[in-house]
Amino acid sequence: MDNKPGGGINDRKQVRLFLKKDVLINTTVKGYALDMSEGGMFIYTHIPFPKDKFIEVQFALKPGEALLSVKAQVRFLQPGVGLGIVFVNMAEPVKERLKKYIEENINAHPLGQDAANIDKRKKILIVDASLGSRTTYKNRLVLANFIVREASNGVEALQQMAKEKPDLILLDLVMEKMGGVRFLQLLRADAAYKDVKIVVLSGSITPQEVQMICSFGIEQIFSKMTTTPAKLAELVKKILEG
């Protein structure tokens, strides 16, 4: 039998959905899935399972639905906390259901709609072609108690904003498909986003670009070279408060 896993949970190309979902391991051990991708999940449980052990996990994608039963392999263990697993030999119909579920819920609150309705944290959208830059600033902003979303260009940013309106956008200028200046033009042409605050955070910017982007009513222009993640979080907080 082919036991090749269906993809690692540490594969950065796979989108992770953060959630809290009941999981049953080997029909007896209860746990909670805390994140899930098309390839696997991290399960919170105090019961240890050896690395590389094959297990069976059962979970429902939606309340009231029949449980999915999926074979998996333990890839890593954090004693007393939980384990990371990869799915094994998943049937194509199940793969498609899982993929669709993740796509439909990727912007949902991890604890459900009731929690989302009372979550008053400010929302930040980072628009930057550099994954490293997005990750660095996102981690610090999350620690500062902001909800942070990401986009790698202006097209993705507009798609993201159609799902969830941010309070503030951190915008780089140099991106493929749609750069920062064009994105600003489209954004300010839509009255629905007139109150969204814009902070340009760029590696390099010309005097001509400064003059152009300032005409779109941005809050500040910061240099990546001199703005640390901690300093950026402090500045963003001041802008949103005042």
DSSP notation for the chain: ----BS--TT-TTSPPEEEEEEEEETTTEEEEEEEE-SSEEEEE-SS---TT-EEEEEE-SSTTSPPEEEEEEEEEEETTTEEEEEEES--HHHHHHHHHHHHHHTTS-TT-HHHHHH----EEEEE-S-HHHHHHHHHHHHHTT-EEEEESSHHHHHHHHHHS--SEEEE-S--SSS-HHHHHHHHHT-GGGTT-EEEEEES---HHHHHHHHTT--SEEEETTT--HHHHHHHHHHHHH-
- Report the alpha-carbon distance of residue 232 to residue 225 in Å, rounded: 12
Q: What is the pLDDT of residue 6?
A: 43
What percentage of the chain exceeds 70 in pLDDT?
Answer: 89
- Of 26-35, 158-167, 207-216, 225-234, least confident by mean pLDDT is 207-216
Residue listed under structure tokens 């991290």:
42
Residue listed under structure tokens 């930057």:
128
Instruction: Average the pLDDT over 174-196 and give the result.
Output: 78
Q: What is the pLDDT of residue 48?
A: 87
More reliable by pLDDT, 168 or 185: 168
Q: How far is CA 131 from the centre of its chain?
A: 12
* Cα torsion 32, 23, 6, 150: sign: negative
Q: Which residue type does 88 have?
A: V
More reliable by pLDDT, 6 or 158: 158
Give CA angle at 64 (39, 164), nearest 5°.
Answer: 60
Our CA dihedral for 67, 71, 77, 82, rounded to 10 degrees, sits at 0
Could you read off the pLDDT of 111-147 as tens digits, one per residue? 565 555 556 788 999 988 888 888 888 888 888 888 8
In the chain, what are the domains?
Answer: 17-105 (2.40.10.220), 120-241 (3.40.50.2300)
Instruction: Average the pLDDT over 75-86 and give the result.
Output: 85
Residue from 237, 81, 217, 220 nearest 145 by CA: 237
5 — pLDDT class (breaks 50, 70, 90): very low
Q: What is the pLDDT of residue 56?
A: 97
> What pTM did the predictor assign?
0.52
More reliable by pLDDT, 134 or 53: 53
